[in-house]
Amino acid sequence: MASLEQYQELVAAMQNLTVEVQALRTENIALRQQLVLHRDDCGDLPAMPLSFGKYNGYPGGMKEFLDACGVYFAFRTHAYESTRSRVGFIIANLTGNALAWATPLVARNDPSLIDYDRFIEGFKERFDRPEVLYSSLEAILDVEQGTQTSRHTSPAFRD
C-alpha cells in the first residue's frame, strides 16, 4: 500500500504532466495557425489530386471547372478559408490558355489575386464565351469530306 507521501508525489507528477500536455496542445494550435498563414502568404498550398482535372481554357469546360472547385472548397473549408488560397488553388490548376491568362496577373501581383469575386469575374469574362464553343463546333461540322460536309458524313462514322 502506498504511503500518503507517495500518493501526493504521484498527484503532483500527474498535475505536471497535465500542464505539459496543455502547453503542447497550445503550441500545436499555434503551429497549425502559422502553417495556414504561411501557406496563404506564399500561395503554397499542398498539391491535391483532382478528380475533375485541370482547366486549359476550353470554352465548354469553364463552368464545370469552377463548379468542381466550389465543391472542393466546401469540403476543405479549413484549407481554403481565405480568398487568396482559393484563387491560388484555381491558378495552380490551370494549363494552356487559362494559365497564360493568369500568369501576368501573378507577375504583376494583380489586386484580383486577393479578391476571389473579382478574380472569378475576370476569369468568367475571359473564358465564359459559349459563342466561341458553338462557332467552333459549327466550323467543324462545315468541314468538307470530298463533296459532302461532315454533317452528312459523320453518321457513317458512328456505325
Which is higher by pLDDT, 153 or 81? 81
106 CB neighbour count, 10 Å cutoff: 14
Q: What is the pLDDT of residues 46-58, one digit of tens each?
A: 445 555 678 898 8
63 and 133: one domain?
yes
Q: What is the pLDDT of residues 85-135, one digit of tens each?
A: 999 999 988 988 899 999 999 989 999 999 999 999 999 999 887 654 445
21 and 65: one domain?
no
In angstroms, rounded to a whole number, what is the distance separating the alpha carbons of residues 146 and 159? 19
User: What is the residue range of 11's domain?
Assistant: 1-42
18 and 81: one domain?
no
147 occurs within a structural domain = no
Tally of structural domains, the chain: 2
106 occurs within a structural domain = yes
78 and 35: one domain?
no
Q: What is the pLDDT of residues 73-86, one digit of tens each?
A: 888 888 888 889 99
Which residue in 112, 145, 150, 124 sits closest to 66, CA to CA?
Answer: 124
47 occurs within a structural domain = no
24 and 80: one domain?
no
Quick one: what percent of the chain has pLDDT higher than 90? Answer: 19
Q: Average model confidence (pLDDT) for the chain?
A: 76
20 and 66: one domain?
no
